[in-house]
Amino acid sequence: MQIYLISDNADTYTGMRLAGVDGVVVEDRAELKAALEQAVNNPEIGILLLTEKFGREFPEIIDEVKLQHRTPLIIEIPDRYGTGRKPDFITSYVNEAIGLRL
């Protein structure tokens, strides 16, 4: 099983390559769709890392892939500029999911 990265910037790609993760840098919608199609059709890829920018800019593409394919596991990661999430996003997620105030 391999981990594969689809990134929107070369800095994240370079950092992940230094950690031994292969990947690609894409710049637009068409390149993202092509890279996702290639990744989901590769049976060796078990985990697919995407920078969070794609989740914000192209949620319909990401959601479509998640709904149509069981593998690979798609994980959105922050890039070098940080996350777009609130500092307490985990607590908020738990509150929404189970209705428990932490």
Q: How many residues are listed for the chain in this entry? A: 102
> What are the pLDDT tens digits along the chain (102 aa)?
899 999 988 888 898 899 899 999 999 899 999 999 999 999 999 999 998 888 888 888 888 888 888 889 888 888 766 666 666 656 666 666 676 665
pLDDT the model gives residue 93? 60
Query: For 72-93, how does the pLDDT look when each residue is reduced to its tens digit (9 = 90+)?
Result: 988 888 876 666 666 665 666 6
This prediction's pTM? 0.75
For domain 2-98, say whether CATH 3.90.1150.10 is its number. Answer: no
Q: CA dihedral defined by 18, 21, 24, 29, rounded to 10 degrees?
A: -120
The residue extents of the domains of the chain are 2-98
Name the helix (H) or strand (E) containing 45. strand 45-51
